[in-house]
């Protein structure tokens, strides 16, 4: 019993000192592409009124195509 207590008291400071060693700092640089918002003065087309027929869907489709073409101009892509 006494030997185990002596062994415990002897090993306790060693364990405490080993746990407080200076940590190793690992740094890693990662290059990530960041999208930057750009200001673009483009006149957007008038959004068509909502209708539940095929002509309404066609008008909405044409509206989105026009918006996409105008916004591609802002980022420098050709339509």
**Res. 79: pLDDT tops 70:** no
Give pLDDT tens digits for 11-60: 777 666 665 666 778 888 999 999 888 788 888 899 998 888 999 999 99
Q: What is the dihedral of CA 35, 36, 37, 40, to 10 degrees?
A: -110
Is position 21 within any domain? no
Domain of 56?
A: 43-79
* Phi, psi of 46, deg, nearest 5: -75, 130
The total domain count for the chain is: 1
Q: Any idea what the Cα angle at residue 14 is, between residues 8 and 16, rounded to 5°? A: 95
Total-model pTM: 0.49
Is position 70 within any domain? yes
| pLDDT at residue 18 in the model | 60
């Amino acid at each position: 019993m006494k030997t185990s207590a002596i062994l415990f008291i002897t090993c306790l400071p060693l364990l405490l000192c080993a746990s407080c060693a200076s940590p190793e700092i690992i740094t890693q640089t990662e290059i990530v592409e960041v999208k930057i918002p750009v200001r673009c003065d483009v006149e957007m087309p008038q959004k068509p009124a909502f209708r539940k027929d095929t002509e309404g869907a066609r008008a909405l489709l044409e509206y989105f195509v026009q918006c996409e073409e105008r916004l591609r101009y802002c980022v420098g892509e050709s339509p």
